[in-house]
């Protein structure tokens, strides 16, 4: 078999996306396994769009006002300090006294950290939508030392979502 630059390019073009995807999966798995667990209450913020596709979309109640400045019509880096005290800070890095924080951006007066939606199977869509509207919802988030957060679990009244609601038959 003769190796030509063309064959090498084909192999690299196939291998690079696979390696990138594997690194992405490994990073997310590491965040889930090694992140510090934090429970945060959630609430729906737009009853017409609480459920978009099969993602439950919610607003997180951090226990402090976030992104309330009128300058947040543009995307601005921000952090929410969780420990030792809950505080909001506009900027890339949290204040020095903060030991655990979530980094994100303020966009249109909303703090977005990539944890504002949760995928659910189609059969659970309607019952879960009603459960979040009628009951207290929480998320368990894994937070790394660098402020990256990832949702580990959605809770309804303190129970995992799949135990708190009953699936409906899917109508086709």
Same domain, 81 and 62: yes
> pLDDT by residue (tens digit) across 18-74?
888 888 888 777 776 778 999 999 886 544 455 555 788 888 999 998 888 766 667
Same domain, 51 and 126: yes
Tell whether 171 is covered by a domain.
no
Same domain, 100 and 135: yes
Tell whether 172 is covered by a domain.
no
**Segment 107-126 mean pLDDT:** 86
d(CA 11, CA 3): 11
Tell whether 70 is covered by a domain.
yes
Same domain, 26 and 105: no
Same domain, 30 and 71: no
Same domain, 15 and 45: no
Same domain, 98 and 39: yes
Q: Give the pLDDT score at 72.
A: 63
Q: Give the pLDDT score at 48.
A: 45
Write down the pTM of the prediction: 0.75
> pLDDT by residue (tens digit) across 122-161?
788 778 777 777 767 899 999 998 899 999 999 988 899 8
Measured in degrees and rounded to the nearest 5, phi and psi for residue 170 equal -80, 125
| Number of domains the chain contains | 2
Q: Give the pLDDT score at 112.
A: 93
- The residues, any chain, with a CB within 8 Å of residue 78's CB and separated by 6 or more, are 66, 67, 88, 89, 90, 91, 103, 104, 105, 106, 111
Same domain, 30 and 56: no
Same domain, 78 and 155: yes
Tell whether 146 is covered by a domain.
yes
pLDDT over 80 (residue 172): no
Tell whether 170 is covered by a domain.
no
DSSP per-residue letters across 90-127: ESSS--TT-SEEEEEEEETTEEE-S-SEEE--GGGHHH
Same domain, 76 and 95: yes
pLDDT over 90 (residue 3): no
Tell whether 101 is covered by a domain.
yes
Q: Give the pLDDT score at 2.
A: 54
Domain enclosing residue 56, as ranges: 35-164
């Amino acid at each position: 078999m003769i190796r030509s630059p063309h064959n090498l390019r084909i192999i690299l073009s196939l291998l690079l996306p696979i390696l990138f995807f594997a690194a992405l999966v490994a990073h997310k798995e590491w965040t889930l396994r090694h992140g510090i667990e934090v429970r945060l209450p959630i609430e729906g913020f737009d009853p017409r769009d609480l459920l978009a596709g099969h993602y439950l979309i919610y607003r997180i109640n951090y226990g402090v006002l976030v992104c309330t400045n009128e300058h947040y019509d543009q995307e601005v880096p921000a952090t929410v300090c969780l420990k030792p005290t809950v505080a909001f800070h506009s900027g890339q890095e949290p204040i020095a006294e903060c030991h655990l924080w979530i980094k994100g951006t303020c966009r249109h007066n909303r703090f977005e950290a990539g944890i504002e939606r949760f995928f659910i199977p189609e059969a659970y869509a309607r019952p879960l939508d009603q459960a979040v509207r009628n009951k207290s919802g929480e998320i368990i988030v894994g937070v790394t030392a660098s402020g990256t957060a990832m949702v580990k679990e959605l809770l309804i009244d303190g129970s995992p979502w799949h135990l708190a609601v009953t699936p409906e038959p899917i109508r086709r």
